[in-house]
Chain A
Amino acid sequence: MVPISYYLALSAVLFGLGVLGFVFKRNIITIFMAIELMLNAVNLAFVAFSRALGQLQGQVFVFFVIVVAAAEAAVGLGIVILIARNRQSLNVERVNLLKL
């Protein structure tokens, strides 16, 4: 039987790696993927707690997180396509003007 703290430690490590990816990468799409990694880490924590406490609310919340991640990915990638069309580059350092 694996103690729940192992799952929480793994979730924390994945979340930290997501933060690192968010801070250090320069391609917009890769930054977006680091955000998805953070959401996945949080999902793992939810499911681990749902198992530990014997309630199913944790798994229901994971559904909602997945749905929100899907909606956010769709709209976010639409914005990324617009930025790429306007600045001809996917580098966040080039999107530094308030005027497009």
Chain B
Amino acid sequence: MTQLALFLVLAAIAVAAAVSLILQRHPIHSALSLVVVMVALAGLYLLLDAEFVAAVQIIVYAGAIMVLFVFVIMLLNAGTEERTNLSRAAHYAGIPLAALLLVGLAYTVTRAATPIVAQPTPKDATRQLSMLLFRDLAFPFELTSVLILIAMVGALVLAKRDE
């Protein structure tokens, strides 16, 4: 019962923040809304007994990647978006069609999912997760570290000024 209440609260926060991301005019406010979405999702991961993934989501995603976004917005001095003159039809038909898209997506996904009984979680999930990551999937893990190295070098080369 408390789980359902917590789920509804966190889901409402996540959806409200996602809507706010689309509706805000200044990119900094969109970035802050995205941070709220990520923190709400971390709460949902905690509800799903994935505590390590929740912590990693906040440390890496909300605490480093979004900080990068915020830095770039501040450095580029991004201002508010200009108002375009969309046609009236797009304005009045767009929103109901968008709502229809969302509802249709949600309905299709939930209808297609076969009813699965949730298994009880193991007590030392972090230890099993690390065994999986460092023993069975060690090669993809090392590949991701090479990927990050490539991305670092690429970002440095791209953002350098030619002088």
Contact = CB atoms under 8 A, between A and B. Distances in A.
B148 interface: yes
B93 interface: no
A78 B160 CA distance: 9
Interface residues of A, number: 68
A81 B77 CA distance: 11
Contacts of A10: 11, 14-15, 44
A37 B76 contact: no
Interface string A12-23: 111111111100
Given A21-B21, A40-B41, A30 B11 contact: no
A47 B101 CA distance: 24
Nearest to A58: B50
Given A53-B119, A66-B57, A90-B78, A48 B48 contact: yes
B89 interface: no
Q: Determine the interface band of chain B, counting residues with CB < 8 A from chain A.
A: 35 or more
Nearest to A85: B161
B113 A4 contact: yes
A75 B158 contact: yes
A52 B18 contact: no
A3 B47 CA distance: 12
Given A12-B105, A77-B72, A78-B158, A20 B48 contact: no
B132 A16 contact: no
A73 interface: yes
B30 A30 contact: yes
B119 A54 contact: yes
Given A29-B73, A60-B133, A71-B148, A78 B48 contact: no
A29 B60 contact: no
Interface string B1-31: 0011001000100110011011000010011
B148 A70 contact: yes
A82 B133 contact: no
